[in-house]
Chain A
Amino acid sequence: AAGVIQSPRHLIKEKRETATLKCYPIPRHDTVYWYQQGPGQDPQFLISFYEKMQSDKGSIPDRFSAQQFSDYHSELNMSSLELGDSALYFCASSGRLPQETQYFGPGTRLLVL
């Protein structure tokens, strides 16, 4: 079965640079979530989109923005990168039911030097 696809899998950037992470949800899933997992921490919710509209916002810095496109893929844009942004970034997708399970992608490991 098709899973959530994230690209790139690994990314190295320098401080103050920008980065764009991409997420392709499972086909027919219309909701996308972004999570950040720092070293030794549990995943923290950043932001979600339902039917191409922002749905909920968590602990996402103002330097970050995201959107969901007409084909339901989503991009997380990160600007003015800081060392503390180094983390695993997971995307998850779910279907239409209120309690639909979220399925996670393999993650993008971002390292900021």
Chain B
Amino acid sequence: DQQVKQNSPSLSVQEGRISILNCDYTNSMFDYFLWYKKYPAEGPTFLISISSIKDKNEDGRFTVFLNKSAKHLSLHIVPSQPGDSAVYFCAASGPLSGSARQLTFGSGTQLTVLP
């Protein structure tokens, strides 16, 4: 059972417009959420994160919104640029018995920004 879901495998957006990527989770113990961007044959690159005590975090063109009651988060990219074209992974972590916190990833959304 996938605990982190990205239901849209792909998204196409025109350059300059807003890209909205969505993510749902089922485990109410998750308290930290991250978005990563990934190019083929490269490691995931950290974009932005949000703690469960917040509902919004902004960094430049990237904003992440968290709706805890709906167990839903979204990543907004404004304005979208062709260089943003990549696979975007949503990831979540929660308190575990160990000292380190593993990430649970969604299946990713391929964003294509059209010039």
What is A's interface to B at a CB cutoff of 8 Å? Answer: 4, 6, 31, 33, 35, 41-45, 48-51, 55-56, 58, 88, 90, 92, 94, 98-99, 101-107, 109
Additional A-B contact list (6), CB under 8 Å, known A43-B103, A55-B98: A31-B99, A42-B106, A55-B99, A56-B96, A99-B31, A102-B46
**A-B pair number, CB within 8 angstroms:** 73
- In the complex the two chains form, is B43's CB within 8 Å of A102's CB? no
Does B104 count as interface, using CB distance less than 8 angstroms?
Answer: yes
Residues of A with C-beta under 8 A to B51: 99
Q: Indicate whether A42 sits within 8 Å of B108 (C-beta atoms), given known contacts A50-B99, A56-B100.
A: yes
- In the complex the two chains form, is B43's CB within 8 Å of A4's CB? yes
- In the complex the two chains form, is B100's CB within 8 Å of A101's CB? no
- In the complex the two chains form, is B98's CB within 8 Å of A56's CB? yes
Interface centre among A48, A88, A99, A106 (most CB of B within 10 A): A99
Query: How many B residues are at the interface, by size bracket?
Result: 20 to 34
Q: Which 4 residue pairs are nearest across A and B when measured between Cβ atoms? A: A55-B98, A104-B43, A55-B100, A56-B98
- Among the 9-residue stretches B14-22, B34-42, B61-69, B75-83, the one with 4 or more Cβ atoms under 8 Å from chain A is B34-42
A45 to B104, CA, bound (A): 7
